[in-house]
Amino acid sequence: MMDLILNDANKQKVLTDSSVPISPYNLFDGTSDFSGTSWTNLDQYTNDKLVSPFGNQSRQRKGAWWGLSQLKDLKVGQIYTISASIFVDTNSSSDEFIGVYGEDSKGNIISSNTKPLLYLKNAPVGWITIKHTFTVPKNSTYKVRFESSSDQVNIHLADLMLNKGAVALDWNYSLNDLRSRLGG
């Protein structure tokens, strides 16, 4: 077994073989254009004209909560990382933020990130990547998503990625998306 050291904001973390991504493929389907019917809360977002850093379509929402996600079967003890490209139109004057939330229908919580990933009053102008790594407590079907606490700020979301391991990967297609693009 090989251990790697990850330096993250002056904190060292030992990465084991299980932390390193197993494959480069996205576990979410249809993230290049939010296609398909498996998206939760897609009706809460509008299609916008922004193009993401990876050339994908983004979706916009002005309103709190209702994060975009898909139901995914996740395995107990497995480490996953969710990431996305975010563009904030205007800054907030309060302590509104973007965080990560995830649970299954039985109330098992995999991530209730009360520590904000991005305060909207400090958001830079332009696309940024946000990410969060978590470990699954029980085998179940979970909905993991980024959510904004603001009703006042336009948030553009693109390049949504869920991968196995503790390292956020660059956006990529899912295996289902690649099969579809290749005709089967």
C-beta of residue 12 within 8 angstroms of C-beta of residue 160: no
Contacts of 145 by beta carbon, 8 Å cutoff, 6+ apart: 40, 41, 67, 68, 69, 82, 100, 101, 102
- Nearest residue to 157 via CA among 71, 28, 37: 28
What pLDDT does residue 83 have?
96
- Kindly report which listed range (8-12, 62-66, 98-102) carries the lowest average pLDDT score: 8-12
9 pLDDT band, cuts 50/70/90, is: very low
**DSSP sequence for 2-23:** --EEEEETTEEEEE-TTTS-S-
At 15, is the pLDDT very low, low, confident or very high (cuts 50, 70, 90)? low
The answer to whether the beta carbons of residues 66 and 41 sit under 8 Å apart is yes
* pTM summary value: 0.86
Question: What's the pLDDT score for residue 14?
Answer: 63
- The SS3 of residue 74 is strand
Is the separation of the CB atoms in 80 and 167 below 8 Å?
no
In whole angstroms, give the CA distance from residue 182 to residue 78: 30
Cβ atoms within 10 Å, residue 23: 12
* Element at 142 (helix H, strand E): strand 140-148
- Kindly tell me if the per-residue pLDDT of 12 is higher than 50: yes
Say whether pLDDT at 11 is over 70. Answer: no
Average the pLDDT over 65-86 and give the result.
94
Average pLDDT, the chain: 86
pLDDT tens column, 21-61: 677 899 999 999 999 889 999 999 999 989 999 999 999 99
pLDDT score of 114 more than 60: no
